Amino acid sequence: MTIVLNAEEMTDFLSEVFPQVEGMFSIDRLDEGALVMRLHASEQHLRPGGTVSGPAMFALADVGAYVITMSRIGRQALAVTTNCSIDFMRKPAAGADVLGEFRLLKLGRTLSVVDCLLFSEGQAAPVARASLTYSIPPVK
Amino acid sequence: MTIVLNAEEMTDFLSEVFPQVEGMFSIDRLDEGALVMRLHASEQHLRPGGTVSGPAMFALADVGAYVITMSRIGRQALAVTTNCSIDFMRKPAAGADVLGEFRLLKLGRTLSVVDCLLFSEGQAAPVARASLTYSIPPVK
Amino acid sequence: MTIVLNAEEMTDFLSEVFPQVEGMFSIDRLDEGALVMRLHASEQHLRPGGTVSGPAMFALADVGAYVITMSRIGRQALAVTTNCSIDFMRKPAAGADVLGEFRLLKLGRTLSVVDCLLFSEGQAAPVARASLTYSIPPVK
Amino acid sequence: MTIVLNAEEMTDFLSEVFPQVEGMFSIDRLDEGALVMRLHASEQHLRPGGTVSGPAMFALADVGAYVITMSRIGRQALAVTTNCSIDFMRKPAAGADVLGEFRLLKLGRTLSVVDCLLFSEGQAAPVARASLTYSIPPVK
């Protein structure tokens, strides 16, 4: 599927619609083959021991699913997550950013389905996996 | 099952182990019959329109599942979430706190299973539901 | 919400649209307050030890979510499951039927969300819990 | 990870432990790189229109997660599914077998985590995705 918003345009769009998370995420790669998003490890997302928290990993999965969907359909700020299932498999590495690799499994008229693997930067075994469904509002 | 940590003790324990979320959550009710936890609506958890974000609701589900498990087994900071499935069903009310009502469905030797319904305070229809599994480390 | 198909009408409808599972399920109770469905324990759904299999419990959750949705919107054979998350918590009792208690958490224009607890008949602790989303085709 | 049960040994093991599903599934490929399992389309798993049912797809996901786990740890019939999340994304092709491609994301001491994509044979877009957790009983 053709990309209609590239990494720079998506970054601007995210800043507009989610100003609260400004600086929390960035896009490492966005093209027809892949989306890789980065969660910047920072004090507020850490747990005792210096590892990234579960809610911060959920937030990365959620924003990445939004980004990969929007990158194909364009700016539709009202798309909403309807479901997420996430498995936490390993403790993230202390102090490391978390990278999410996303796949768009389905893009229908009303729903998109995305899955992702999350990794501590520099490590081969995933720390978490998630699948998400977004509901896409009908275009008027 | 007997409660081994009451609301006050749990609040102290949460402050110790999750200092980053200090002030984000509080316990409305914790006894053998129920756990009700509150997510305080505040600017950093809001989305455009003033509604509580998905990741903030996930965080409420996650902390409540931890609290209801710990309330029966005592202080075991190392218990970790292994799975969460969450359905977002309705838009939360603008500016309202979100309340989570939790049930402990299973407390085994190595796993606990919890489900919850989340409500915007003052509304009857749930905004989200979630189920979570915690892995409980063996006591040495 | 008003019931538009009662237990007898739903049973007839199920026989029409799912002839393959004839005899596998029955409705114990269907009214505005509750849906209870029964999975009849029979050889083909059993595992070694005489307990009901995971796929048979999934099938009960799936058909119950369909029934509770249809009971409110009427005959729409084309509604399809889009997501199910299921937790298997305890071994079912050998030889016992499994009963599912269902709640309709949301009935929107395009999606319904249902959750359920499954019990071995005569036992208090649930053997499984599940949540399901059905996509409801637009009425032409 | 090394394979300790090959396709032929696994097939024999499945026939022993799950005699009820004899003939329903077969292993197309099992080696260190991949597991591909086949659900044979047959009358009892079909829905009106000749498509494979949701419960049959769940059963394929479940048995494949069991097979990929056992292929690494050997015969442990008592491993049990604790969680499955499945998304049904497209209608399967009428009359076609369904193929499941499985990945072992984690093999810990007490849990394994597997995900899979399911395809109608001969089609490129997946009909479903699932993730599963198996609990592995401690070796005495």
Position with higher pLDDT, B78 vs C114: C114
Contact assessment for residue D58 and residue D84, using Cβ atoms and an 8 Å cutoff: yes
C82–D contact, CB cutoff 8 A: yes
| Overall size of chain A counted in residues | 140
Position A20 scores a pLDDT of 77
Strand partners, C135: C80, C111
Nearest to D85 among B82, B85, B135 (CB): B85
3 state SS for B41-81:
CCHHHEECCCEECHHHHHHHHHHHHHHHHHHHHCCCCCCEE
Whether C48 shows a pLDDT value over 80: the answer reads no
Measured between alpha carbons, how far is A48 from A45 in angstroms, rounded to an integer? 10
- The percentage of residues in chain D with a pLDDT greater than 90, rounded to a whole number, is 74
Complex confidence, ipTM = 0.94
| Overall size of chain C counted in residues | 140
DSSP secondary structure, A61-96, as one string: HHHHHHHHHHHHH---TT-EEEEEEEEE-SPPPTT-
Whether A140 shows a pLDDT value over 60: the answer reads no
Q: For tokens 């996930």, what's the residue?
A: B58
SS3 D109: coil
- Find all residues with CB under 8 Å of D129, minimum gap 6, and list them: A105, A113, A115, A131, D86, D87, D89, D115, D116, D117, D118
Helices and strands, counts by H and E, chain A: 2, 8
Neighbours of B20 (CB within 10 A): 15
Please give the DSSP secondary-structure letter assigned to residue D46. Answer: B
Measured between alpha carbons, how far is C25 from C37 in angstroms, rounded to an integer? 7
Q: For tokens 């990445």, what's the residue?
A: A64
Contact assessment for residue D130 and residue C85, using Cβ atoms and an 8 Å cutoff: no
> How does pLDDT run across D2-33, given as a tens digit for each residue?
899 999 999 999 998 888 778 899 999 999 98
Position with higher pLDDT, B86 vs B110: B86
Whether D73 shows a pLDDT value over 80: the answer reads yes
Strand partners, B104: B114
Please give the DSSP secondary-structure letter assigned to residue B137. Answer: P
Instruction: Please report how the helices A7-17 and A54-73 are oriented relative to each other, as an axis angle in degrees rounded to 10.
Output: 120
Taking residues D27-40, what's their average pLDDT? 95
Position A33 scores a pLDDT of 87
D83–B contact, CB cutoff 8 A: yes
End-to-end C-alpha distance for chain A, whole angstroms: 22
Strand partners, C104: C114
Q: Which chains touch B (3 or more CB pairs under 8 A)?
A: A, C, D
Evaluated on CA atoms A69, A73, A78, A83, the torsion sign reads: negative
- Are the beta carbons of C47 and D18 separated by less than 8 Å? yes
B133–C contact, CB cutoff 8 A: yes
Nearest to D87 among C53, C82, C89 (CB): C82
- Find all residues with CB under 8 Å of A140, minimum gap 6, and list them: none
Nearest to C54 among D46, D48, D81 (CB): D81
Q: Which two tokens stand for residue C44?
A: 């083909």
Residues of A in Cβ contact (< 8 Å) with B82: 87-89
Position A139 scores a pLDDT of 61
> How does pLDDT run across A79-118, given as a tens digit for each residue?
899 999 999 999 999 989 999 999 999 999 899 999 999 9
Q: Which two tokens stand for residue C90?
A: 């305890």
Position B114 scores a pLDDT of 98
Is the pTM higher than 0.90? The answer reads: yes
B2–D contact, CB cutoff 8 A: no
Whether D84 shows a pLDDT value over 80: the answer reads yes
Instruction: Please give the interface size between B and C, counted as residue pairs whose CB atoms are below 8 Å apart.
Output: 37
Mean pLDDT comparison of A15-24, A44-53, C48-57, C122-131, highest-scoring range: C122-131
SS3 D38: strand
Give the nearest chain B residue to C132 (CA atoms): B87
**Phi, psi angle pair for D97, to nearest 5°:** -60, 155
Q: Chain B: give the shortest CA distance to residue A47, in Å.
A: 7
**Phi, psi angle pair for A74, to nearest 5°:** 90, 180
Taking residues A36-48, what's their average pLDDT? 82
Which helix (H) or strand (E) segment holds residue C134: the answer is strand C128-135
Position C139 scores a pLDDT of 60
Contact assessment for residue B100 and residue B60, using Cβ atoms and an 8 Å cutoff: yes
SS3 D51: coil
Measured between alpha carbons, how far is A26 from A37 in angstroms, rounded to an integer? 6
∠ CA A61-A62-A65, nearest 5°, is 85
Q: Which two tokens stand for residue D120?
A: 């109608």
Position with higher pLDDT, A137 vs C82: C82
